[in-house]
């Protein structure tokens, strides 16, 4: 009888509330307001976030390093020499190579006739190597491609706050480019 009483005691008092898994959570990262200053490199000038560090590359190409976010914007400059179709195709190919890992690629055309600036801004969602890209040209002399890369394996959920922060800077760069 004692065995049964003990077993009955265990059954009633060993049960606790049902364990529920925690819902998915995301990091809440807040970045300070962006402050921009004008940068000139001989081929074009633009507004750059003061929190980024600039590294000059060959010709008029640049790298903008974001040490806090562990990311880099690569600005690649190429002169147009009767090869605008090739440059456009290469810029679009660079974006659409990520279609395998991307969930969506949203295109936003950009036209600014007074500044003679025409291009496309790409917003790539998903675990692609680059989440934001653009190209900009005056279609006769200048062509710039901008790409954002992080120093980590792409995990869109983890890098999303940083992508959104740097995406604003990329839009600012694209919209502020003036050809020299």
What are the structural domain ranges in the chain?
Answer: 38-175
Beta bridge partners of 36: 49
State the pLDDT at residue 25: 65
pTM tops 0.85, yes or no: no
State the pLDDT at residue 21: 72
- Give CA separation, 9 vs 3, 14, 17, 18, 19, in Å: 10, 8, 17, 19, 21
Whether the predicted pLDDT of 67 surpasses 90 = yes
Residue 8: pLDDT band by 50, 70, 90 thresholds?
Answer: low
Give pLDDT tens digits for 122-164.
988 888 888 899 999 998 999 999 999 998 887 877 888 888 9
Helix, strand, coil tally for the chain in percent (to 5): 30, 40, 35
Higher pLDDT, 25 or 166: 166
Task: Please state, for a pLDDT cut of 90, what percent of the chain lies above it.
Answer: 53
Report the CATH fold assignment for 38-175: Protein Transport Mog1p; Chain A (3.40.1000)
State the pLDDT at residue 57: 85
Q: Are 180 and 42 in contact (CB under 8 A)?
A: yes
State the pLDDT at residue 168: 95
Q: Are 54 and 39 in contact (CB under 8 A)?
A: yes
């Amino acid at each position: 009888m004692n065995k049964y009483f003990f077993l009955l005691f265990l059954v009633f008092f060993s049960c606790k509330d049902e364990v529920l898994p925690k819902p998915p959570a995301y990091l809440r990262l807040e970045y300070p307001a962006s402050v921009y200053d004008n940068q000139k490199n001989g081929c074009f000038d633009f507004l750059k976030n003061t929190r980024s560090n600039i590294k000059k590359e060959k010709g008029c190409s640049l790298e903008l390093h974001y040490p806090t976010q562990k990311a880099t914007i690569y600005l690649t400059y190429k002169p147009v020499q009767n090869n605008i179709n090739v440059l456009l195709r290469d810029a679009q190919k660079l974006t659409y190579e990520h279609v395998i890992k991307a969930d969506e690629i949203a295109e936003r055309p950009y036209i600014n006739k007074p500044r003679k600036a025409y291009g496309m801004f790409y917003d790539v969602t998903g675990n692609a190597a680059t989440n934001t890209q653009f190209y900009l040209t005056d279609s006769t002399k200048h062509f710039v491609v901008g790409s954002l890369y992080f120093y980590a394996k792409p995990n869109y959920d983890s890098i999303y706050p940083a992508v959104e922060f740097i995406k604003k800077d990329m839009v600012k760069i694209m919209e502020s480019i003036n050809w020299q």
